[in-house]
Structure 1
Amino acid sequence: MRTALVIGTGLIGTSVALALSARGIRVHLQDADPERPRTAAALGAGTDESPDGPVDLAVIAVPPAHIAPTVVGLQREGRARACLDVGSVKGRPRRELVELGGDLSRYLGSHPMAGRERSGPLAADETLFEGRPWVLTPTPETDTEVLNLALELVSVCRAVPVVMEADAHDRAVALVSHTPQLLSSLVAARLEDADDAAVRLCGQGIRDVTRIAASEPRMWIEILSANPGPVADVLAALAADLDGTVRALRAMESADEAKRAAGASDIEAVLRRGNAGRDRVPGKHGAAPAEYETVAVLISDTPGELARIFADAGRAGVNIEDVRIEHATARQAGLVQLMVDPVAAPVLSAALRERGWSIRQ
């Protein structure tokens, strides 16, 4: 691949362009909003000038409803040897492409499983896809050259290719991406009219659950409009679980000891099912989830504190596997939770104490 055209210079499109440009590929940028390609170009993602002739690969990073028309337009104008989209829904755009008379042999649907709450070119990062699954949905009609270009793109972005059938992908993301977004928003919505006293009690749990509720609503309307059926199926199953959970909690209010015990048993079953499901979520580098031990350290809210604690952990020869920060309400301090290998936990605790850090159990 020597040349590429990225259509749609938001978070994903610009991140792709940054990764391609870093490898010396000439990238042309296009967007319905002319300001966004200029911004992306200023970040080093490529040029907002139109290509002189057909590019090797066109990457379509537009909302799902616009994927098929964009691909058909590129194919009819002969602007690219291959077209690949990076939308979060795969089945409907492919069917719309067929309806519009598009050429499936020169097109491949894909979905990099990466993102963040912020959107737009200024949120882009060429390392966004590193180590992340990148779903490819080839069909029997897909030309080998197109598949090879897609694999090259995934390699350049340092992602991990995963081949799936389009509708299977849509059912999967309904469960692991689209439904969590709605649930996060539903929980966060309960805070809108909550008492100030209750909101002041927000801790790490509510922050974790509502983190993705900060996402752009218009973007999610476009995504959910292209995959409503599978998402509704998951939510229907969840609704059944919620109904049962509500009945169990009501039973725990009963004066009847047997009903209270039955309700508690049902709640325990839900929590244990949650444990089992959480255990299936891939851990570091896609491996099975590891059991880490937490070393909690009190830090002041001043510049350089995080860098200093990481440096001290490095001097102790301890690798930080994960990190969480819980901010203290109304205090200029916070609690940093350092997740490490259990064997390394006492080593890290001792080393940090020696360097003056306050360790919390």
Structure 2
Amino acid sequence: MRTALVIGTGLIGTSVALALAGRGVRVHLSDHDPDRARTAAALGAGSVQEPEGPVDLAVVAVPPAHVARTVAEAIARGAARGFLDVASVKGGPRRELEALGCDLTRYIGTHPMAGAERSGPLAGTADLFEGRPWVLTPTSAAGAATDTEVLNLALELVALCRAVPVVMDADAHDRAVALVSHTPQLLSSMVAARLEDADEAAVRLCGQGIRDVTRIAASDPGMWVDILSANPGPVADILAAVAADLDETVRSLRALQSADEDKRGDGAQGIEDVLRRGNAGRERVPGKHGAAPAAYETVAVFIGDQPGELARIFADAGRAGVNIEDVRIEHATGQQSGLIQLFVEPQAAPGLTAALRERGWSIRQ
């Protein structure tokens, strides 16, 4: 791939363009808002000049509702040898393209499983996709099978963005993202919405648990309305199942208030059941490098909120010969300090604890 056209310079489009430009591809940028395209160009994502002829690959990075029309227009004007989109739903846009009579042999639907709470070109980064799954949904139907050249261009794009290709059926993809992406967004927003009118005294008690659950609630509502409008059925099905669990959990909690010992026992059993099923589901979430999640030991260290403190603790861990597998920071409300949790292999925890103590760090037992 030597040339590419990126249509849509939001977070994903700009990140794709930055990754391609950084690896020597000549990238042309287009957006319905010229200022966004110029911003992306100023970041080094490419040029806003029109390409002189067809490029190798056109990447359509617009909201799901606009994918089919945008791809169809690009195909009609012969903008590229191959066309793909990066929207978070795949079945609907493909069916719309079929209805428009487009040549699907030159198109492949894709979805990089990466994102951020921020949006727009200024949120773009060339390493957004590194190590992340990138779903490809080639068509195999007679007369509309994705051309091998187009599939190869898509695979080259994934490689240049240093992502991991995953081939799926389009509708299977939509059911999967409803479970692992779209429903979590709504549930996070619903929990965060409880905080809107909460007493200030309650909000000041927020700890890492509520921060973890509500992190993605900071996402752009307009963007998510577009996404959910393109995949409402699968998301509604999953939410209906969650609602059934919620109803059962409410009944169990009410039973715990009963004066009847048997009812309290049933209530406790109901709560334990949902928590255990949660344990089992969490264990299936892939861990580091896509492997099964490891059982790491946590070394918790008090840390001041001053420049250089994070670098110092990581350097001290490195001097101790310990690899930090994961990290979490919990800020102390109203204080210039916090708690950093270093996740390490169990056999490394005692040595790291001793080494950090020697270097003056305060360890929480």
Shift of 1:159: 0.5
Is 1:298 aligned to residue 302 of structure 2? yes
- Equivalent positions of 1:19-58 (< 5 A) are 19-58=19-58
1 CA distance for matches of 2:323 and 2:46? 36
TM-score, scaled relative to structure 2: 0.98
Q: 1:358 aligns with which of 352, 362, 365?
A: 362
2 CA distance for matches of 1:320 and 1:231? 36
2 CA distance for matches of 1:281 and 1:53? 45
Aligned residues: 361
2 CA distance for matches of 1:151 and 1:315? 40
User: 1:89 maps to what in 2?
Assistant: 89
User: 2:274 maps to what in 1?
Assistant: 270
Look up the SS of the partner of 2:307 in the other structure. Answer: coil
Look up the SS of the partner of 1:344 in the other structure. Answer: helix
User: 1:179 maps to what in 2?
Assistant: 183
- Equivalent positions of 1:1-361 (< 5 A) are 1-140=1-140, 141-361=145-365
Look up the SS of the partner of 1:158 in the other structure. Answer: coil
Q: Which amino acid aligns with 1:42?
A: A
1 CA distance for matches of 2:32 and 2:121? 13
1 CA distance for matches of 2:298 and 2:33? 46
Shift of 1:360: 0.5
2 CA distance for matches of 1:75 and 1:8? 16
Shift of 1:116: 0.8
| Percent of aligned pairs sharing the same letter | 80
Shift of 1:126: 0.7
1 CA distance for matches of 2:101 and 2:69? 10
1 CA distance for matches of 2:115 and 2:35? 22
Shift of 1:102: 1.1
Look up the SS of the partner of 1:171 in the other structure. Answer: helix
2 CA distance for matches of 1:126 and 1:347? 36
2 CA distance for matches of 1:116 and 1:165? 25
2 CA distance for matches of 1:49 and 1:291? 52
Q: Residue deviations 1:231-266, cap 9 Å, x none?
A: 000000000010000000000000000000010011
- Alpha-carbon RMSD across the aligned residues, in angstroms, is 0.5
1 CA distance for matches of 2:238 and 2:261? 34
Query: Which stretch shifts more, 242-251 or 33-42?
Result: 33-42
Q: Which amino acid aligns with 2:305?
A: D
2 CA distance for matches of 1:143 and 1:311? 50
Shift of 1:36: 1.0
1 CA distance for matches of 2:25 and 2:335? 49
Q: Which amino acid aligns with 1:115?
A: G
Look up the SS of the partner of 2:116 in the other structure. Answer: coil
Shift of 1:62: 0.2
2 CA distance for matches of 1:123 and 1:295? 32
Shift of 1:118: 0.7
Shift of 1:42: 1.1
Q: Which amino acid aligns with 2:235?
A: V
1 CA distance for matches of 2:136 and 2:119? 23
Q: Which runs of 5+ in 1 are unaligned?
A: none
Q: Which amino acid aligns with 1:153?
A: L
2 CA distance for matches of 1:73 and 1:116? 29
TM-score, scaled relative to structure 1: 0.99
2 CA distance for matches of 1:351 and 1:121? 43
Q: Which amino acid aligns with 2:35?
A: E
1 CA distance for matches of 2:322 and 2:119? 34
2 CA distance for matches of 1:342 and 1:125? 34
Shift of 1:79: 0.8
2 CA distance for matches of 1:27 and 1:152? 15
Q: Residue deviations 1:286-329, cap 9 Å, x none?
A: 00000101100101111110111111111111111111000001
